[in-house]
């Protein structure tokens, strides 16, 4: 488990709604369409409301990424519905000219190396002290939705 400096992360990222709102078309339309048509698990949302002030989610995302278009708008819905803080390192770019390097820095933030981001979206859930609780890489692996998996990771940590 890693510890992160949340104040530094907040300085270097944007809230999820600002990230999606600032996208160019046709990407913004795809992300907004997903947000408008997604039906979150209300039971998970209600439980997350009670926990939202204890956690922060940090996401690495790119406009061109299908899994990001599927899951990052859900994070925006979760944030709106529960108050959970979701911060985004956006505009990740592949580096096709350098086969030894996954991401081109810049425009990708140098934190892709710090956190060893290999696939996106890379979703880190941490407590308000910056301690990693868990992560979701690309898509939920244990539960059927992002909101359920975040809740599952929180519950798992609590039961340790």
Q: With beta carbons less than 8 A apart as the criterion, state whether 140 and 41 touch.
A: no
**What is the tens place of the pLDDT at every residue in 102-156?**
888 888 899 999 999 999 999 999 999 999 999 999 999 999 999 999 999 998 8
Helices (H), 13-41: 16-21, 27-37
**What is the tens place of the pLDDT at every residue in 37-83?**
999 999 999 999 999 999 999 999 999 999 999 999 999 999 999 99
Identify which of 156, 118, 109, 159 has the alpha carbon closest to the alpha carbon of residue 134.
Answer: 156
Identify which of 59, 57, 63, 28 has the alpha carbon closest to the alpha carbon of residue 128.
Answer: 57
- φ/ψ bin of 101: left (φ > 0), alpha (ψ from -120 to 50), beta (otherwise): beta
Q: Which CATH topology does 6-158 take?
A: Glutaredoxin (3.40.30)
What's the whole-model pTM score? 0.93
């Amino acid at each position: 488990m890693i510890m992160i400096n949340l104040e530094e992360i907040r300085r270097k990222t944007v809230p999820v709604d600002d990230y999606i709102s600032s996208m160019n078309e046709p990407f913004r339309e795809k992300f907004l369409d997903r947000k408008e048509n997604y039906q979150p698990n209300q039971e998970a949302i209600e439980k997350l409301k009670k926990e939202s002030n204890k956690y922060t989610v940090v996401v690495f995302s790119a406009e061109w990424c299908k899994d990001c278009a599927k899951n990052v708008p859900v994070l925006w819905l979760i944030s709106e519905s529960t108050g959970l803080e979701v911060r985004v390192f956006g505009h990740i770019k592949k580096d096709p000219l350098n086969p030894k390097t996954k991401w081109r820095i810049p425009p990708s933030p140098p934190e892709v190396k710090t956190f060893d981001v290999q696939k996106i979206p890379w979703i880190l859930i941490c407590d308000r002290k910056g301690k990693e609780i868990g992560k979701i890489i690309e898509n939920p692996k244990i539960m059927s939705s992002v909101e359920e998996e975040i809740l599952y990771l929180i519950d798992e940590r609590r039961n340790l």
